[in-house]
Amino acid sequence: MTPMEAIEARISCRAYTDEPLNQGALDELRAYAEELTRGTNLRFVIVGPAEGGARLKLVKRMFTGKVSTYAALIGPDDNLTRERVGYLGEKLVLKATQMGLGSCWVAGTFDRKSVSEPLAAGEVLHDVIPLGYAPAKQPFAQRTIHASLRKRDRKPEALFQGPIPLVEAPAWIAAGIDAVIKGPSAVNEQPVVFVWGDERLTATLPYGKRDLEYTDLGIAKLHFEIAAEAAGMDGAWEQGAPAIFVPRG
Ligand SMILES: Cc1cc2nc3c(=O)[nH]c(=O)nc-3n(C[C@H](O)[C@H](O)[C@H](O)COP(=O)(O)O)c2cc1C
């Protein structure tokens, strides 16, 4: 499965079977989490079955099934970190998807006390990502949650501020925006808007800048980059803020 296929296949999985991950899968996720955060001030800790005693407790009205493995995304408490957590954490989510695992970004609807990983001074637990096997069919309640959140999907044109209309913009921009809409965002807000000018694309947060929107921005940057490349436009995001995508092709 390519990264683009993983973007197409991923959904927030809110139902998990009891089947635990085997050691090989745990090792693969841990090696990848280590690779993603090497040289950063982030820690993506993969907590495996029965490690640290308690299981991750997710809010029952949103999730069903017992989650025995999850990623705890930990780092300093600032917005640039939140954005980096989004970008790198979504790489982990897409990797899990490629491995046939269900996953879900969870920032709010879980019991923080059930997370066993201790925090160092200056660190916060930004999000958790349950990792496990989805049942063949998501139960009705979880499908309803998904459908009601997805009703809020924005139109591609709403994510593009021009200055030209989206239909006149290069095709890789439209492809990137489609992949951003398919991506996860907190309460499916899809807060990131793109502006094109001087052969550069800027990703902005025009509707207000609540903490989680920075995580959404990081996720959007990754999805955009993957889809732009699949559409033939190799490019890269400049370091730091604002978020500027520079095409190389
Ligand atoms: C940063 C972030 C935090 C999220 N927190 C939660 C959460 O606390 N509980 C939950 O059920 N879903 C959470 N989600 C999942 C979103 O609701 C979901 O991505 C969105 O509704 C789109 O649906 P989809 O991921 O199934 O495509 C979160 C997503 C992101 C990106």
Of 82, 107, 140, the residue that ends a domain is: 140
Of 112, 140, 168, the residue that ends a domain is: 140
Give a yes or no: residue 146 inside a domain: no
What is the position in ligand 1's atom list of the atom closest to the CA of 10?
27
- Are 175 and 105 found together in one domain? no
Residues with Cβ within 6 A of ligand 1? Answer: 11-12, 62, 104-109, 127, 146, 149-150, 184-188, 212, 215-216, 219
Of 76, 108, 140, the residue that ends a domain is: 140
Percent of the chain at pLDDT > 90 equals: 83
Residue 49 has pLDDT above 90, yes or no: no
- Are 58 and 177 found together in one domain? no
Instruction: Determine the distance separating the centroid of ligand 1 and the alpha carbon of 182, expressed in angstroms.
Output: 12
Residue 148 has pLDDT above 70, yes or no: yes
- Are 131 and 213 found together in one domain? no
What sign for the dihedral angle of Cα 213, 214, 217, 219? negative
Output the average pLDDT for the chain.
Answer: 94
Find the domain containing 112 and state its range. Answer: 3-140
pLDDT 10s digits, 71-110? 999 999 999 999 999 999 999 999 999 999 999 999 999 9
Q: Confidence band (pLDDT; 50, 70, 90) for 52?
A: low
The CATH number of residue 62's host domain is 3.40.109.10
- Are 209 and 133 found together in one domain? no
Q: Best mutation site among 94, 104, 190, 214 for ligand 1, i.e. most ligand atoms within 8 A of its Cβ?
A: 104
What sign for the dihedral angle of Cα 129, 105, 29, 214? negative
The pLDDT of 8-25, averaged and rounded, is 95
Instruction: Determine the distance separating the centroid of ligand 1 and the alpha carbon of 105, expressed in angstroms.
Output: 5
pLDDT 10s digits, 220-248? 999 999 999 999 998 899 987 788 998 88
- Check residue 249 and give its pLDDT: 63
What is the position in ligand 1's atom list of the atom closest to the CA of 108?
8
Tokens for 248? 């190389």
- Are 100 and 36 found together in one domain? yes
Q: Give the amino acid at 123.
A: E
What is the position in ligand 1's atom list of the atom closest to the CA of 109?
8
- Are 112 and 229 found together in one domain? no
CB 97 within 8 Å of CB 226? no
Tokens for 125? 């637990």
pLDDT 10s digits, 70-80? 999 999 999 99
The CATH number of residue 170's host domain is 3.40.109.30
What is the position in ligand 1's atom list of the atom closest to the CA of 149?
21
Instruction: Determine the distance separating the centroid of ligand 1 and the alpha carbon of 92, expressed in angstroms.
Output: 15
Q: Confidence band (pLDDT; 50, 70, 90) for 197?
A: confident
Instruction: Determine the distance separating the centroid of ligand 1 and the alpha carbon of 168, expressed in angstroms.
Output: 32
Give a yes or no: residue 34 inside a domain: yes
The answer to whether the peptide bond before residue 242 is cis (omega within 30 degrees of 0) is: yes
Among 86, 94, 130, smallest CA distance to 8 is for 94
Query: pTM (2 decimals)?
Result: 0.96
Q: Confidence band (pLDDT; 50, 70, 90) for 54?
A: low
The pLDDT of 105-131, averaged and rounded, is 95
Percent of the chain at pLDDT > 70 equals: 98
